[in-house]
Amino acid sequence: MTLPTILEQSVAFLLPYDFSPTVLLVCIGAGLLYQRGWRKAGGGLGQAVMFWIGLVAIYVVLQTQFDYYGQHSFFMHRLQHLVLHHVAPFLIAVSAPAAILAAGLPEPIHRYVVTPLRRNWLLRHVYAAIQEPLVAGAIFVGLIYFWLIPSVHFYAMLNVPLYNTMNWGMAIDGLLFWWMIFNLRAPGASDMRHYGYRLLVLFLVMFPQIALGAYIALSDHDLFGIYAACGRILPITPLTDQAIGGLLTWVPAAMMSFVGGLVLVHRWNRRSRHVEKPVSPTLRCAR
Amino acid sequence: MSQSKHLILWLLPLFLLGCSGEASNQWHGHDITGVMPDLEFELTDHTGQPVTAEDYRGKITLMFFGYTSCQHVCPVALSKLAAATRELGDQADKVEILFVAVDPKRDKKVLDDYVTEFTPDLVGLTGTQKQLKAVAKRYRVAFSYEKPREDGFYIVNHSGAVFVFDPQGKVRLLIDEQAKTANITEDLRNLIEQSSG
């Protein structure tokens, strides 16, 4: 292959299969906001790298030819959701972007949009409810199961609005879940939530994912006929496609819990060492 | 803001399922009424005439994607559709089978001969890559070409589904590869009855 054809193919790959102005605007908006806030608030390089990898990954799986493969191969679809629901939101949430994004927000928007929204009684309660670790964990697992019910999956792959709802839902829920895991404060509360509780939730969400992934991977018949109906584009058999897809639901998804747990234990450890330091009571109050 | 929107988004699929669940008993195929866009395309038929979906309004249309050099899947599927239509007897002329040939390089020359072998109700359609890709994308199906063998023959990966549209061009059913001929006939009879009454 010559260099021009490689370039041509790369450009063709990067062009959206199904152009969505919403995804483009949301990603550009988040990027600009972050960049502005990062400069103003002076964020760290490491956290910026994680945030950007997460944001770019969401864009790539939704708005390049990756999405075409995701629509026509079960395992590519599982890979897409692994990025949307696990990897990218994990990276974004672990980079602690809240302060930076807030710093990037223009003052009028902060005052007239964000602050009233945060004061809204209903929103505050809904947010607090879905950020309750066990509830967030149940939604996190529930969504994976829901979209993999074969009849639901069938319609989701055929109907464009439903397909987009599925993908948006995965990304938003991923952000909410991993935000709950790594966010130090419970919404509306001044006290810190306990690390152990979040560790427990990370541990608990692993098993239903392992069970579902194993069930799909080891199934001896094609569970999702929609891919045969709409055409597989990769030259692999339906059962191989399904087995790889099941493995992707099983192993890396559960491993993200493990990695998340490591991060939590590390932060927990760091914090308790911090607290154990003999500091004068006045100083501790001031903090 | 995003949370309440989020909730609505979650309820939407449940709502859609509720709609489709009720009607599912009535059909052997999958009821996809309202799930996909109306029949629309710009292609060339097997006689070389440029055609659009408008030309087939007034008839129930069965759209199937394939290619003429296909050795197993397409002939089986097409003869099943042809047989199912024949079973309708004097109502057979209310149904048109649209065979979208997605391998124009090989299909163009032979399409005319290919379709006449099947049934008078079969229409062969093909077009430029751009036209074919547009139709495929609209119905969320894919086709791709595998590497040619030594003798130049290559396999085309394509969809197995048959999309059924009513005389107004509204999408109604998806029939998969496993469907039995008798069941297809029954579904078609139901559709004809519905659209005439």
Please report residues of A whose CB lies closer than 8 A to that of B141: 229-231
Surface-to-core class of residue B47, CB atoms within 10 Å of its CB (0-12 exposed, 13-18 middle, 19+ buried): exposed
Range of the domain at B45: 28-196
B26, two tokens: 């009535």
Kindly tell me if the per-residue pLDDT of A189 is higher than 80.
no
Domains identified in chain B, total number: 1
End-to-end CA distance of chain A: 62
Distance from CA of A225 to the nearest CA of B (A): 8
- Residue type present at position B28: H
Closest CA to A257 of A187, A192, A177: A177
Give yes or no for residue A287 having a pLDDT over 50. Answer: no
- CA A210-A214-A219 angle, to 5 degrees, is 160
- Asked if residue B164 is part of any domain, the answer here is yes
Q: Is residue B142 part of a domain?
A: yes
**Inside any domain, residue B9:** no
**For position B7, what pLDDT does the model report?**
52
Q: CATH code at B117? A: 3.40.30.10
Question: Which of A29-38, A161-170, A192-201 is least confident?
Answer: A192-201
Main-chain dihedrals φ then ψ at residue B46, nearest 5 degrees: -70, -15
Residue in A with minimal Cα distance to B161: A229
Is B6 contained in some domain? no
What is the model's pLDDT at position A283? 42
How big is the A-B interface in CB pairs under 8 Å? 89
Least confident of A71-80, A232-241, B94-103: A232-241
User: Is residue B176 situated within a structural domain?
Assistant: yes
Query: Mutual orientation of helices A160-182 and A238-276 as an angle, nearest 10°?
Result: 30
DSSP string, A3-19: HHHHHHHHHHHHS-SS-
Query: Which ranges in A15-132 belong to alpha helices (H)?
Result: 21-41, 45-63, 66-71, 74-81, 88-94, 98-104, 107-109, 115-119, 121-130
* Chain B hits for A232, Cβ within 8 Å: 142, 157
Question: What confidence score (pLDDT) does residue A235 get?
Answer: 84
| Residue-level pLDDT at B15 | 54
For the stretch A156-165, pLDDT in tens is 999 999 999 9
pLDDT, mean of residues B62-80: 92
Instruction: Locate A267 and state its tokens.
Output: 């932060």
Q: How far apart are CA B90 and CA B62, in angstroms?
A: 18
Type of residue numbered A155: Y
The residue in chain B having the minimum alpha-carbon distance to the alpha carbon of residue A119 is: B1
In a domain, B8, yes or no: no
Burial status of residue A215 (CB atoms within 10 A of its CB: 0-12, 13-18, 19 or more): middle
Q: Which residue has the tokens 């950007």?
A: A52
Q: Are strands B95-101 and B122-126 parallel, antiparallel or unpaired?
A: parallel
Q: Is residue B155 part of a domain?
A: yes
- Is B52 strand, coil or helix? strand
Q: Please indicate whether, in this complex, the C-beta atoms of B141 and A231 are within 8 angstroms of each other.
A: yes
Q: Which residues of A touch B3 (CB under 8 A)?
A: 123, 126-127, 130
